[in-house]
Amino acid sequence: MGQSQSLSTQIEIAATPETFLDFQRYKEWHQTFSITSLDPGKQPMDLKPGDRLEVDIKGFSFKSTVVENSPECFQWLGSVPVLFHGAHQFHFSHSQETPGGTTLVQKEDFTGLLAFMMRPGWRMEKQSRENFNALNRDLKAAAEKVAS
């Protein structure tokens, strides 16, 4: 049903990734992207597969479901049924380039009838890549500021 496309970005961070799960403080260091647990009593570190999130990217808000929340990966699934499905992942690994640091890979796999819009070079892919890179840069700056 439809096509599939993937988008992936990567950045080196001279710190550990704990800043990422501090959803409540995102607005202090990033303006494009916000993540909110739909269970207001649940802390981000306690989110489990099946828990629901609200994700907002530049005013486009959607509900998603947590798939994984581990020290190595935070992943959710979001969709507009049939038209567009996204599996968004943040992978954290020990950096091979930055001693004591973290390599962050932010990736999304798209499927559905409109997934073709995420082809490399297309406007929607370029805008999404720009948003991913902006979050990566802002997370790097915030995490390294906390670590210093």
| CATH code, domain with 81 | 3.30.530.20
Residue-wise pLDDT for 120-129, tens only, equals 999 999 999 9
pTM, 2 dp: 0.90
> Which range marks the domain in which residue 135 is found?
3-147
| Total domains present in the chain | 1
User: Quick one: pLDDT at residue 77?
Assistant: 97
Spacing of C-alpha 18 from chain mean position: 14
Average pLDDT for 26-41: 86
User: Quick one: pLDDT at residue 49?
Assistant: 98
With DSSP H G I counted as helix, E B as strand and the rest as coil, what are the percentages for the chain, rounded to 5? 30, 45, 30
User: Quick one: pLDDT at residue 80?
Assistant: 85
Which residues lie closer than 8 Å to 20 by C-beta, 6 or more apart?
74, 90, 92, 104, 139, 143
